[in-house]
Structure 1
Amino acid sequence: MAGPSWVGKKLSDRYEIEDLLGQGGMSAVYKANDPNLRRTVAVKLIHSHLSEDAQFVSRFEEEAAAVAQLRHPNIIQVYDFSNDEETYYMVLEFLAGETLQERQKRLSAGKKRVANKEAIENIASICDALDYAHNRGMIHRDIKPANIMINVQGDAILMDFGVAKIVGGKQHTATGAVVGTALYMSPEQIKGEEADRRVDIYALGVTLYEMLTGSPPFEADSAMSTLMMHVNDPVPDIRKVNPDVPASLVQVVGKALAKDKNQRYQTAKEFADALRGIDLSKADAEDVGATMVETPADAGATMVETPAVDAGATMVEQETAAPGATMVEATPVGATGTEAPAPPVPPSATSAGAAGGGARKGIFAGGAAIAAAVVGCIVIAGIGYFAYTQFSGGGGTTADPTATEAAVVVEEPTETTAPLPTDTTGPPTETLPPTEIPTATVPPGFQVRIRSITLENGTYVVEYETFEYMEGPDMHIHFFWDTVAPEQAGSPGSGPWALYRGPRPFTQYTTGNQPAGATQICALVANANHSVIADSGNCYDLPEG
């Protein structure tokens, strides 16, 4: 069963889809009615282009089964996993309330912060959930405010195990991919080291810091700069921002955020015990209007693992990319469509781009910046490319991308891990804000944006940026001249196009192979079968020779 929207339809002749809660590059989450059990549920549907990938479906099924075994009051419950023909889905507990991210934004709008007592109680509860999951071999790997629900009773509930790693489980990627959000990613993940339970402790420490101060400890104009801050910069002094935080709580946060994982709390239980051991009676933080406790959201506000619209973050998991392999295809292979169960409504592939910075038109446009140029210089060898093996980015839903947070993927080391090619173009002269799901000019889902084109000795040097994924052996990029229509730039179109999996920048086009009449170079995101995703890229004017 397929269609432009599932609202008003029935899934597997059982679940009656009522409303779209949110969606991202991996999946869409709907509110639905289960007439058999007479209850409201949340249904997460994998987008169709991922449902066609047997490896992705296999991993999704294995992890769904593992998460369904978790029974804890602070972990969202998984009820079912199945498929309706080619559409795979998971049925989840429906929660009324708001995410911690939404709560913090609401408080910030009123010039308030989460009270110390509430922050301690919420984070300690999530520690309990993590300790339970860790002891059963599950590492969450994407702890952030968007994945923590505050229900109408004020309880904190952990969601989005979509990118969870099953310790000792079957490995579905060639090298063991890991995923995370730049604002909450641990130093060892950034370095490409193997992830264990302590990456969750670090991310939860970042979340606690953000609750106490109103902003994360490390935040820069680009995702790569943010990652470098996690690796090198000391934790900013909480009390310079919020002097009402007692020294004992500052110390707990500092230990959770230790650069050396061996200096952190070694278990989530240790973290919880330390939090519950803090005596707030000596600190009058809650008497300060700026930190007053607010009542939980009313039952009308509902959100279940919805693709977050974070203040800076999302995740995308990708398999190791073969460095550099490029080829121009004139005769594409067969392809299938890329329509998602509930696709967004993006601008037309031929609409004009945003104004400014030269004539950028066609499929989309953005500011001229080169965030990717720092990848090789910043991130230690071991960070690699890899494809979309995770849950929904849902934008919030079980791990789907969803916001302005910059989703970053790094790769766990294995004996076959290849180092990221070093970029020799030097650092960028301009940076972009964190880009984890759409900004005003970048819609949700997998996206690529050409940021600049320069001409060097007859070769066009194309600097570009990807959103919610990194180019690899599966998800990759099709570059093409503007003399080729976007719908012809991928299978089953006639092309030609240049299939590209990195490294950055793209340098396969020259003045020598430039077609007559070409004035722009364009880019679109392509699937493993070489079909392109409509409205997923942009065109950029060629420099004058």
Structure 2
Amino acid sequence: MSRLEPGDVLARRYLLLDPLARGGMSVIWRAFDQSLHRMIAVKVLTASLHTDHGERVSVRSEARAAAKFIHPDSIEIYDYGETVTTSGGVAAYVVMPLLDGTPLAERIERGPLPWTEAAGIALRLARVLMAGHALGLIHRDVTAENVLLTAGGPKLLDYGIAAWAGDPDDDRGTPPYVAPERLRGAPTHPAVDVYALGVLLFTMFTGRTPYPETTWEEIEAARRTDPPPRPPGVPHAVATLCQRCLAHQPEERPTAAEIVAALTSALGTARLGQHVRRGLTVAGSAAVALSVLLWFQQTELKPPEKAAEPSPSATARLVESSPAAVTTVEEAVTGFRTVLEAKTPCGATDADVVLDLKQVLYDSVAPHGPSESKTDHLRRKLSDRLREGRLSPACLSELQARLDDIDSALQRD
């Protein structure tokens, strides 16, 4: 097809403004919908469909499949169309929301991510894949370029080249993320998404893909017989999970649901470790305080020397310079609300869930609140939202820590 330029209009409706990203098979444009007067993103396939009716039917089927899949961490498909270009070719395009965010690929260019951050992103993506796989929909191009880090959390892009499980495979996709069986022409299967997620997880951990090949020709020529690499510097369970995702044989890889369970457990264990370390710190502080108290008791046995009384101004300066020793209920409640409303880790929580949790929080700390432990009801709410998939494990852990602060403050009052 001919090269599109800013100012071109697709289907007498979508005004192309400027290209946002270019891939091997498509260009994503920032555009303006002249019918609905809103900013959008338009992905235009770079190959003409004019001479290949089978390809045209395939692209149209994939767009329809993607349009049926709606998930909060995936990009919705607004429209699909085919238009005749100035050179007489037929170009397919997919219209999507325009989101503000940073491609994960740009974040990785700055260096490896902390393992908990990388695992949290992978967990969100695995949930999207799990939902898609349950419908028989395979993404086929899970890459760092197709993940957008937004204020609401990571979003998986480009379901526009998705396929149904069992469909014949083709040469679409990004070579470093392509599963080995795709080179043998195996039918589309959920395991290809799991392999790509393993590549992405390894890349987030290390800043590089697990294998050096970057083109179709290179990966076809590669002969991999050694076990897949393990990412260094991460917990054993997480490294093992990543290695299993990269297994050469698709039947040896975990399912997306198993990845969700494993990462949820790993992140929960990490958060528990933080609580234990925090508890040890508190215990250590208590031991120091006990030692100081015993020292004072011993020194009180000796006649104290006469000391000058501090002046009122000196006492005032001491009071002003002393940090707050305790957290008030108001401060603890504010901490809970701050975490709940923050971009990380609770940014993807539904607005109705946020509103409900705020109301339960208000009822919990109100003077007329329940006679049971003030935060028990709210803790049950958090657990329910986690089971429903409407609250991330990382968000749950942070909110539970804030509830611990609230309980401590209530006990002091």
Task: Report the TM-score range of the alignment, normalised by the length of the smaller protein.
Answer: 0.5 to 0.7
State the Cα deviation string for residues 276-311 of structure 1 (Å, max 9, x = none): 101124778xxxxxxxxxx99xxxxxxxxxxxxxxx
Aligned residue type for 2:253: R
> For residues 78 and 269 of structure 1, what CA distance do their matches in structure 2 show?
24
Quote the Cα distance in structure 2 between the aligned partners of 1:129 and 1:254: 21
| TM-aligned CA distance change 1:136 to 1:225, over 3 Å | same
2:49 alignment partner, SS class: helix
Deviation sequence 1:217-254 (CA, Å, 0-9, x none): 22258765655667312233422xxx3x1122112212
Give the % identical residues. 30
- What does residue 30 of structure 2 align with? 31
The yes-or-no answer on 1:235 pairing with 2:228 is yes
> Is contact 2:48-2:91 (8 Å) kept?
no
Compared with structure 1, are the counterparts of its residues 13 and 261 closer, same or farther at alpha carbon in structure 2 (3 Å cutoff)? Answer: closer
Match for 2:210: what amino acid?
P
Q: In structure 2, what is the equivalent of residue 42 of structure 1? A: 41
Select 1:205's aligned residue among 184, 194, 198.
198
User: Which residue of the partner structure matches residue 81 of structure 1?
Assistant: 80
- The residue correspondences of 1:5-404 to structure 2 (distance < 5 A) are 5-24=4-23, 26-47=25-46, 49-85=48-84, 86-105=90-109, 107-108=110-111, 113-153=112-152, 155-167=153-165, 176-220=169-213, 226=219, 231-239=224-232, 243=233, 245-265=234-254, 267-278=255-266, 279-281=269-271
Deviations 1:113-158 (A, max 9, x none): 21112111111111111111111121122222111111133x1111
Flag structure 2 segments of 5+ consecutive residues without an equivalent.
85-89, 275-342, 345-413
- Greater RCO (Cα-Cα under 8 Å, separation 6 or more): 1
How large is the RMSD of aligned CA atoms in angstroms?
2.9
Aligned CA distance change for structure 1 residues 176 and 200 (closer, same or farther; 3 Å): closer
8 A contact 1:187–1:230 mirrored in 2: no
Contact 1:41/1:91 (8 A) holds in 2 = yes
Counterpart code for 2:177: Y
The code of the aligned residue for 2:77 comes to V
The unaligned stretches of length 5 or more in structure 1 are: 170-174, 285-294, 297-545
Q: Distance in 1 between matches of 2:13 and 2:248?
A: 49
8 Å contact 1:218–1:226 — kept in the other structure? no
Alpha-carbon distance between aligned partners in 2 of 1:48 and 1:181, rounded to the nearest angstrom: 16
Q: Structure 1: how far apart are the matches of 2:265 and 2:105?
A: 26
Cα distance change, pair 220–99 in 1 and its aligned pair in 2 (3 A):
same
Q: Deviations over 1:75-104 (max 9, x none)?
A: 111101123444432211212112211110
* Cα distance, 1:228–1:168 mapped onto 2, change above 3 Å: closer
TM-score, with length taken from structure 1? 0.45
Secondary structure, aligned partner of 1:49: coil
Helix, strand or coil for the counterpart of 1:189? Answer: helix
Looking at structure 2, the residues matched to 88 and 257 of structure 1 have their Cα atoms a distance apart, in angstroms, of 33
Change (3 A) 1:116 1:234: same
Alpha-carbon shift at residue 63 of structure 1 (Å): 0.9
Q: Which secondary structure does the structure 1 equivalent of 2:227 belong to? A: coil
Tell me, in whole angstroms, the C-alpha distance in 1 between the residues paired with 2:83 and 2:231. Answer: 50
Q: 1:471 maps to which residue?
A: none
SS of aligned partner of 1:232: coil
Report the Cα offset of residue 195 of structure 1.
Answer: 3.4
Alignment partner, residue 320 of structure 2: none
Query: Taking structure 2 as the reference length, what is the TM-score of the superposition?
Result: 0.58
Given residue 238 of structure 1, which amino acid in structure 2 is its aligned partner? P
Higher gyration radius (CA): 2
Q: 2 CA distance for matches of 1:4 and 1:238?
A: 41
Asked if the contact 2:43/2:94 (under 8 Å) is kept, the reply is: yes
| 1:8 CA displacement | 1.9
For the structure 1 residues 147 and 221, does the alpha-carbon distance in structure 2 shift closer, same or farther, using more than 3 Å as the test?
closer
